[in-house]
């Protein structure tokens, strides 16, 4: 009886809800940073390999990861690679100020209410979720360093070679 109770407790714990590799990505439409009246839909990117990157202006590693991610996007976007940068800033003003110093070319959204962050179960900053062409999370990256950047490049390359 105790074993069953423990199993049920674990099944309903917050850790059981973590979005990890193998899970379908949440179907979200996130307000665009440039124009919050317009939404950026993850479903509209289906068929592409997509990296959903959660960042914030106060995130020190984001200052390094964002330019590297933009370079990866630039090299691979014509091959079917998309990036969606999701700001966790409370104010769009803070996010835009950050972007004057760290400019990127991929589409940006803002998650002021944290709905997207909760749906993806963001646990660290930056956090990234690499989706295959069918919208399945294949890799989760928490934090940023040279090793994780190299791993992401290899993972993107592998997924781009898979048939749609």
Q: Give the DSSP letter of residue 80.
A: T
Q: What's CA 53's distance to the chain center, in Å? A: 3
| Token pair for 23 | 């899970």
HSE at residue 93, side-chain half, CA atoms within 13 A, is 1
Q: What is the pTM of this model?
A: 0.87
Could you give the CA distance from residue 67 to residue 77 in angstroms, rounded to a whole number? 15
In this prediction, residue 18 carries a pLDDT of: 61
Closest residue by Cα to residue 53 from 81, 76, 20, 86: 86
pLDDT (average), residues 22-47: 93
Between β-strands 127-131 and 49-55, what pairing exists: parallel, antiparallel or unpaired?
A: antiparallel
Q: Cα torsion at 163, 71, 28, 99 (round to 10°)?
A: -170
pLDDT higher than threshold 70 for residue 12 = no
pLDDT higher than threshold 60 for residue 114 = yes
Q: What CATH number belongs to 21-161?
A: 3.40.30.10
Query: What is the pLDDT confidence band of residue 53, given thresholds at 50, 70 and 90?
Result: very high
Could you give the CA distance from residue 84 to residue 105 in angstroms, rounded to a whole number? 10
């Amino acid at each position: 009886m105790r074993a069953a109770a423990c199993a049920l407790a674990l099944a309903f714990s917050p850790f059981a809800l973590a979005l990890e590799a193998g899970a379908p990505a949440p179907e979200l439409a996130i307000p665009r940073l440039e124009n919050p009246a317009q939404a950026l839909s993850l479903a509209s990117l289906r068929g592409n390999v997509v990296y959903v990157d959660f960042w914030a202006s106060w995130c020190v590693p984001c200052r390094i990861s964002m330019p590297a991610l933009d370079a990866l996007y630039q090299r691979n976007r014509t091959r079917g690679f998309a990036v969606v940068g999701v700001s966790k800033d409370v104010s769009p003003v803070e996010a835009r100020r950050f972007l004057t110093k760290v400019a990127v070319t991929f589409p940006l959204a803002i998650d002021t209410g944290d709905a997207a962050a909760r749906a993806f179960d963001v646990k660290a900053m930056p956090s990234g979720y690499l989706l295959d062409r069918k919208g399945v999370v294949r890799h989760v990256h928490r934090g940023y360093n040279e090793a994780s950047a190299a791993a992401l490049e290899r993972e993107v390359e592998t997924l781009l070679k898979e048939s749609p």
